[in-house]
Structure 1
Amino acid sequence: MTIHWCGTGLSAIPGLRKLIEDGQDVMVWNRTVPKAQEAVGDLTDRIAAFTVEALTAELNAGDVIVSMLPADMHVPLAELALSKGAHFVSSSYISPEMQALDGKAKELGLSLVNEVGLDPGIDHLFAHDLVAAYRASGVHNDETSLSFTSYCGGVPKVANDFRYKFSWSPLGVLRALKSPSKSIKAFEEWNVDRPWNALSRYEAPLPEAEEFEVYPNRDSLPFIAAYNFDPAWTIRDFVRGTLRLDGWADAWKPLFDEIETLSGPEGEARLREMSEQLWNDHAYDDGEPDRVVMCVSLEAKEGDTTTWHQTYVMDAWGDERGSAMARLVSMPVAMAVRDVLDGRFAAGVHAAPEAPEQVADWIEAVSGLAQHLEKVDHLG
């Protein structure tokens, strides 16, 4: 069985190299062959120029396609996998079009695994573990309300005046700033049109407490069911969001003001111009360390009294192994490939693992990727 790893961008390399170093049968596909050779040419000569036609010719039943390509390629490659009796893995969110392939994948006995990067991915593991631990605690009753928050962000290890640096094209970040979000705040659905209208402060329970700026992103509401919340539970807050360094909003206010005015094709063209300028001004320098902070928390209260409260806090930064972002995105992808080949994912469309034993295995592996990972019990 061959692993067809498609895409060798900056966030793909550690996981790809791990699979090759472990002796897996890996075929590397990239639009630009010299870039792939620069990334893994010291380990393998099985590198080819990516086209769907070329991949189709090499793909066999039982193989795994890994898509680290732009999101619009995931569904076509998943459909190709199904047509050839192969499995599929990506780190991206499950789109409605991907979810629509669930029935066919189950019928064929094939796994289409997504959301196995950093966020989404590692955050799912922490959420599943916290919900399972809360269920087992026995503290829940009819008077209990729950607050769930999950914040993650890539930030510079060495803070700068801009309060941010880019690991790859800023265009995706700029587009996300134009996106609305849905979450739950104070027992009610909270719909926000722009992130800067929903900023709050969050003190991360790191060994040395640190305050960040946070805001909700995308639509948090489907994850209530995805994280196995009981439908009868009363939810006070439920937010999946983005974390930024303190002072980020002030530093970015001129960008917010301009983004608010942009629309249509001209607006998109301007976003691309802004992206290019930001990449020139605020990209990481070679060897400059990045940092990733993730905090996933579940708190139960009876009235104003906290009865149960645990938080996973992760802090990672670039070192001799490369960037933190690349490790934490691509290594879980490699773990998913391993588990697909070992039959640990059932047939169908899946996100990151939720079975307790598999979650525990993955969290143990993730602990080796971060400089600090702790589950904090706030009540001791």
Structure 2
Amino acid sequence: MARIHWLGAGLSTVPGIRRLIERGHSVTVWNRTLEKAEAATAGLSGDFDLMAFTPDAFADELKEGDLAVSMLPGDFHVAIAELCLEVGANFVSSSYISPEMRALNTVARQRGLALVNEVGLDPGIDHLMAHVLMDDYRNSPVFSKGNVHSFRSYCGGLSEEPNDFCYKFSWAPLGVLKALRSPSKSLRDGKVYDVSRPWDAVESYDVTLEKGTETFEVYPNRDSYPFMKQYGFGDDWNMELFVRGTLRLGGWSKAWSEIFTEIETLEGEAGDKRLAEISAELWNKYSLKEGEHDRVVLSVDLWAERDGKRVYDKSYVMDAYGDDNHTAMARLVSITVSYGVEAVLNGEIAPGVSAAPRDIDVAGKWLEDLQASGEKMAIVDHLKH
């Protein structure tokens, strides 16, 4: 039996670790300190062990046929994947595919090894929803590349109970703050839409959820363009809008305005130091406290128009809440990673560097399994409402 080496046992990883062990897999949980690994596996029985992570110790233990799950900081992913290629092991991560990871594709294919990335929440579940919607549209009677197409995908980690800051942190705020300093590129009105400061592109966004329609704030992030091809939008399609972005509670941009103003002035080493200070301040003031729960909202929209009339208009939406055991973010990220692990072990993902599976049967099953586990999600047909 292949051994799964799960690297990193922070809070966001616990549900996935436990699911794999409970399903009878052989798992080694690695963490820099063993206390977190012990907490992650408390009360479980099965074929698992715990080890203190160092690159050298892990390299000594990884064997041909094994699988490594990297939930470590992003700087580790490529080195772990390269070690997997050297040893003859497979690799899974929830992170975006970096250029350096992409460069390993040819060797991975030659060696018959899968280096699977983007199988968390965002990226991950959003990809699955996009593939399912695209398959539905392609198989509909109104499908035509000549239709005017629009696509939006927004995801956000929120607080269950609104507060004056319109946000609560379930882990260190530094990642959120760094993302605010990153430019984005998307397609709007059929043209390139470059945004250097996310807060300049915030707009209202209505989502139809189980409890009714709710208004959020959204803004584009990263470079959306590569995902057009990944989702199956060809160069010969008539595209009006394509954006992947971040979702926040209504009022967020006003509540964060002072932070935006300061972030804009930060530069160099001193700026990075100040960003870390802001992160610590926000964590002390706005972290989830005991008894408080997080919330995740994900909405993927696809619509098509012909002669000025919408002929297709559907959304795949999810509204998830944390509980006393795990945050919604931890469940959605790590459980989906565990699906990726099992898909690799079952031979359902081809060798090479890849993101969340495009195969509609696999993508559909993952979403069905998430729904069966209790996650609330549904496809909304707006033309029938």
1:97-127 superposed Cα distances (whole Å, 9 cap, x missing partner): 0000000000100000000000000000000
- Give the Å deviation of 1:366: 1.8
1: CA distance, partners of 2:366 / 2:326: 20
1: CA distance, partners of 2:187 / 2:307: 18
Q: Paired residue for 2:55, among 30, 52, 55?
A: 52
2:40 matched residue in structure 1: 39
| CA separation of 1:4 and 1:145: change in aligned 2, threshold 3 A | same
2:298 matched residue in structure 1: 294
Q: Paired residue for 2:122, among 112, 115, 119?
A: 119
What are structure 1's unaligned runs of at least 5 residues? Answer: none
| Matched AA of 1:138 | P
| CA separation of 1:143 and 1:41: change in aligned 2, threshold 3 A | closer
- Give the Å deviation of 1:40: 1.0
1:14 matched residue in structure 2: 15
2: CA distance, partners of 1:287 / 1:368: 25
- Give the Å deviation of 1:57: 1.1
1: CA distance, partners of 2:327 / 2:59: 32
Q: How do residues 1-380 of structure 1 correspond to structure 2 at under 5 angstroms?
A: 1-43=2-44, 46-141=49-144, 143-207=146-210, 208-369=212-373, 371-380=375-384
1: CA distance, partners of 2:312 / 2:64: 48
Aligned 8 A contact 2:293 2:324 in 1:
no
Aligned 8 A contact 1:316 1:370 in 2:
no
- Give the Å deviation of 1:47: 0.5
| Matched AA of 2:259 | L
What are structure 2's unaligned runs of at least 5 residues? Answer: none
2: CA distance, partners of 1:371 / 1:109: 34
- Give the Å deviation of 1:359: 1.1
1: CA distance, partners of 2:143 / 2:343: 34
| Matched AA of 2:162 | A
Q: TM-score, normalised by structure 2?
A: 0.97
- Give the Å deviation of 1:322: 1.6
| CA separation of 1:55 and 1:298: change in aligned 2, threshold 3 A | same
Q: Over aligned residues, Cα RMSD in angstroms?
A: 1.1
3-state SS of the aligned residue for 1:319? coil
2: CA distance, partners of 1:143 / 1:56: 52
- Give the Å deviation of 1:41: 3.5
1:339-370 superposed Cα distances (whole Å, 9 cap, x missing partner): 11111111000100111111111110121355
Aligned 8 A contact 2:204 2:217 in 1:
yes
1:280-324 superposed Cα distances (whole Å, 9 cap, x missing partner): 111101231100000001000124310101100100001244210
| CA separation of 1:309 and 1:250: change in aligned 2, threshold 3 A | same
1: CA distance, partners of 2:287 / 2:95: 23
1:51-84 superposed Cα distances (whole Å, 9 cap, x missing partner): 1111111111110000000000000000011110
| Matched AA of 2:336 | P
Deviating more after overlay: 114-123 vs 51-60: 51-60
3-state SS of the aligned residue for 1:379? helix
Aligned 8 A contact 2:32 2:52 in 1:
yes
| Matched AA of 1:94 | I
1:200-257 superposed Cα distances (whole Å, 9 cap, x missing partner): 1100011310000000000000000000112211111000000000000000000000
Aligned 8 A contact 1:147 1:238 in 2:
yes
Aligned length: 380
Aligned 8 A contact 2:67 2:90 in 1:
yes
3-state SS of the aligned residue for 1:12? helix
2: CA distance, partners of 1:196 / 1:368: 37
Q: TM-score, normalised by structure 1?
A: 0.98
Aligned 8 A contact 1:316 1:369 in 2:
no
Runs (4+) of structure 1 moved beyond 3 Å? Answer: 140-143, 368-371
3-state SS of the aligned residue for 1:146? strand
2: CA distance, partners of 1:123 / 1:38: 30
2: CA distance, partners of 1:273 / 1:46: 37
Aligned 8 A contact 1:157 1:289 in 2:
yes
- Give the Å deviation of 1:142: 6.2
- Give the Å deviation of 1:146: 0.4
| Matched AA of 1:162 | F
| Matched AA of 2:10 | G
1: CA distance, partners of 2:84 / 2:40: 25
2: CA distance, partners of 1:143 / 1:53: 55
